[in-house]
Chain A
């Protein structure tokens, strides 16, 4: 027996599909994310990333940094994360990343934002229900300076294949 509210509800769907990605379309991704010292310490220790620049403040300062350095893999992961609803939440495997550059260090209390542009798209040769899309994604700090950029390729469901 379905709940009354469930019978009245309409799904508020999230995410885009293959048909939504015209080449050249840009997305200013939602939210932004301020990185805290806690984020950086947790991520770095959980991933066993033993470079003291990311977890020993005295060591980071002795290397000329004003604060701990944010682990670049966390910078990448956050910029990627901010892009997911617009780009890949519509389903399909994450295939790869090309030409990723880290442009400058990020420090705790900085706020990252993300933007992407559709670079290319093509139907899958082996599966008519999906296509392959490549985007160029950029991450920025609060001064609008680029801190990371990369090209990402995913399988993306076509609208006709949406569940």
Chain B
């Protein structure tokens, strides 16, 4: 298991080939590093003192060559060690993630998601760095140290001895100072924490301070903390700097000794000048590897501690094997037998006690009881989400405990209480279960459900209309979809003749001469579709032609003012809220641009509109042009401005028709509008409300019209490509639940576990799904359905009633009701 591996494992298992290359490079580097020293000596002794220019050039040539190659080699070492380290880090991250995903569910109830994130993202990084350095740094620097020291001894053993003699002092003194500095640092951290909590307290009690006018008292209290911190910080910095100074001092003391001893020896003629210079260089250079070793020691400690903490945090065994290994996953029929099942969690709490029950293949059982009675837990033990602690659960004679995850998922579909929808399209989520079991299958393509299967599942789960709606809300590329866009124009005509009057109240039709409240300001001015890209979308505002037009039509200033008001109000309301879909649905500022507008609002606070910078003007104009008064209710659009815009529309129309007739196609009943969604194209307008009843009416009309044109599947298929957002936050709770049901229906497993799968659905959807389970799956799939509301359980083969972790009664609904036991009490409400 990954969590048992020591940090050295990753060093041993890092890229050995690269490590070897690295070692070779290091040997070369160290050798090359010695060349300049020897050259220095030769330049002084042979070239300069003998006054030989040719020798000087030659030695200097060697010198520069060795310096250049030493730098290049050093770079090569860094590249290699970075590669090795990052490769090890990537491996660590992947393997740890794979391990975390297999940890038991119980683990995650206690685990802090922030810790999981920081472990994988930040905490492991030093470990990777360490693996990269673990060979390169110590070897390079030790070798360099030895080489330099060796060279110094080779030049003159006495002087070498003298210069190295200083190091023991450093080795002795530095750690002592370091310890003191660490102690002071700890004090600093503690005091800072007190200080923060004190500030926190003061700020939350600010009204009391204002009320009492106790400014002086509070300043005094705060001052005391600051003074304490002042003293501690001084001590800490003194120690910290002291270490540096000490290091420096010894470093500088070296040359002094060398000069005094070496100089004396040189004067005596026992030591040549070149050697002295080489010695000085060697002495200075010995400091670098020394420092790097010290740093490495710190990385080693830091990485070791963090790595250990991360691994300890995740040091839990997975409860089940993932793959069966030597055999194919078993095929189950769904004969479930539960005997004396018990489930005890830490703290000796018995969630399930002595449960016995049995289901034949294809039988359906409803599990009911008060919340907390253990019905979900029982379903989760049967479906291997929890590892039960006593008794047995057998499916077709196999003990669930001993089956692997692969065995279970091939035979079971689970709809969880709060099903999770991952970011991606509706289709991705619909195929999620199927894709998981077909992963790696050579016949993946053939076995995956096709379009008709998906549409069927979507219909069964009752999310068809929603997907249709998503499809209707997509944009078409008319150049690729000429035929489709022509057919949609036909649908539009039918819509207007069949439903136009009936829905007139809830749809705002595109009509010249009328301000459109559900279309953006830009749309109201242009009232057409640009064929020229410089007029479309975000580019419109930077288009010179359009800008000139806005000025001419006297629209620029009022729009700037509108933009500023929008920005101010939106920032005021949504100031610190997370970018959640719900909050930004009605916001004129899209979530991804919110931070920019927040800054803008702060920046232009008091600036008169006339003095704004061009960049800011563009941002405000863009906001104003995207403003849809019917949706963005934060700011009201003054009626004066509406009239101005309508005048502008006329002006723009005649101007562009005269000057650039090909740049725009104005909205016309007989033409497809590419910049509008399919729905808006069919309506030739925009729906005014998203109230479910109105939506229903629109959806019904759409379904009918699309069927007439044989386009229903096509549009639904487009809807399957809808991006559901992170955690599916663009879907409602009901839609998420239906999607999860559809996903399981599509998988069509022999065993289904539904844990309050329809709790977020209305009566109609709930009854339809219930009906399907009874007609389509009864006798085909064994079903355990945890049910909170009791109005749908009558037709189950069995009803099991739980109370306080015990199965109180099991049997057909009528039998239990006749018995007037616990079920009777539940249904008729003892409370």
Report whether chain A binds chain B: no
| Residues of chain B at the chain A interface (Cβ within 8 Å) | none
